[in-house]
Amino acid sequence: MLRFLFLRFILPLIVFLIIRSILKSIWGSVNSSVPSRQAKDEGVQPGGELRQDPVCGTYVAVNSSLSRTVNGKPVYFCSAACRDKYRAA
């Protein structure tokens, strides 16, 4: 019974997981060699002025960040979560 279970279910599962792992590593190396066009597709220009997020301290580009005006001055955030935390404080 145990031999049947091993040969019918466990061994094919192990072989499948090994093959999947090998294919993922091959596919990952192929994808990493292709240049990314994400910044170009999103319309975000590289460079520009950086400002520090007051919540988490991450530096974000002014042209691609979320902003809010506080006391007449713009404050820049890396994400909506940081913006919401700043509102709550």
**Is 72's pLDDT higher than 80?**
yes
Note the pLDDT of residue 27. Answer: 80
Token reading at 56:
């988490």
Q: Which domain holds residue 50?
A: 45-88
Note the pLDDT of residue 45. Answer: 60
Please check whether residue 65 is in contact with residue 82, taking contact to mean a CB–CB distance below 8 angstroms.
no
| Mean pLDDT of the residues in the chain | 81
Residue 20: inside a domain: yes
Nearest-angstrom CA–CA distance, 77 and 48: 15
Residue 21: inside a domain: yes
2-6, 49-53, 66-70, 85-89: least confident range: 85-89
Interior/surface letters 18-47, b for 16+ CB within 10 angstroms, e for the rest: eeeeeeeeeeeeeeeeeeeeeeeeeeeeee
Asked if 30 and 50 sit in the same domain, the reply is no
**Is 68's pLDDT higher than 90?**
no
Residue 22: inside a domain: yes
Amino acid residing at 73: K
pTM score, two decimals? 0.47
Asked if 30 and 51 sit in the same domain, the reply is no
Residue 12: inside a domain: yes
Number of structural domains in the chain: 2
Over residues 64-72, mean pLDDT: 85
Asked if 30 and 52 sit in the same domain, the reply is no
